[in-house]
Amino acid sequence: MSNVIIITGAAQRLGLHCALTLNQAGYRVIATYRSEKPGLSRLRQAGIECFQLDVTNSVALADFIRHIFTQTNELRALIHNASDWHADASSQNNPDLDIAADSAIFDAMHAVHAKAPYILNRALAPLLAKSALAGDIIHLTDFVASVGSAKHMAYAASKAALTNLTLSFARALAPKVKVNAIAPALLMFNQHDDDAYKAKALNKSLLQIEPGASELSNTVLYLLQSRYLTGKIIELDGGRALNLP
């Protein structure tokens, strides 16, 4: 039975916690990272294979895919956690500059959140389909994919594209592979977040707590254990969508 799980963007925060949790649960985890982070030492100490990968680099992506085919004949799961976050460009009152900046941000957001998962899913689907249990693809999207964002339009649009890919791949890869998404709102703060920001952020949800990284890891484990869930977006948002004025 295959127990190999790939998780992208696992060098810090939610991805790091998820990789360690899956490792402790007995899975063989292959974790990718874009640049060196302190958390990588924890992954390596746990015996997790760490593969340097910029998912927006098509040559590097192809090398990684070839590497996976040399390492295993089947995959238990592919988890897309790699992410980037850019605000929309400020207007410079120069149409040429605005177009160039907008294009660069839009392309960057879609490259990491939509294009890379699309390529990896299609390339690795044959290995996922060989899993004794139904293989799993899990997309990490975002709360803003369903509500939009006034200042991060390109980011929100790219996460919405990933949400739609969840539906398409669920249809295309059934019944051998289950495909689901997790759409978090606030799960954990950054170290530099001040008290005023934290209070404002907590008040956006009904439950008004910082649940922590385990909330995501537990949801991932639930999806892996489910035999009958595919094409679903799990909104991990503390009731934020219902906290209307």
**Catalytic site residues?**
155
Q: Which of 179, 155, 130, 138 is nearest to 2 (CA)?
A: 130
β-strands 233-236, 177-184 pairing: parallel
Using DSSP's 3-state secondary structure scheme, residue 141 falls into coil
What is the torsion angle, in degrees rounded to the nearest 10, for the CA atoms of residue 183, residue 189, residue 190 and residue 191?
Answer: -160
Angle between helices 153-173 and 116-129 (to 10 degrees): 20
Phi, psi of 172 (to 5 degrees): -75, -35
Q: How many residues does the chain have?
A: 245
Query: Which residues on neighbouring strands pair with residue 184, listed in sequence order?
Result: 236
The residue to which tokens 């051998």 are assigned:
176
Strands, E, within the chain: which ranges? 4-7, 28-33, 49-52, 77-80, 135-140, 177-184, 233-236
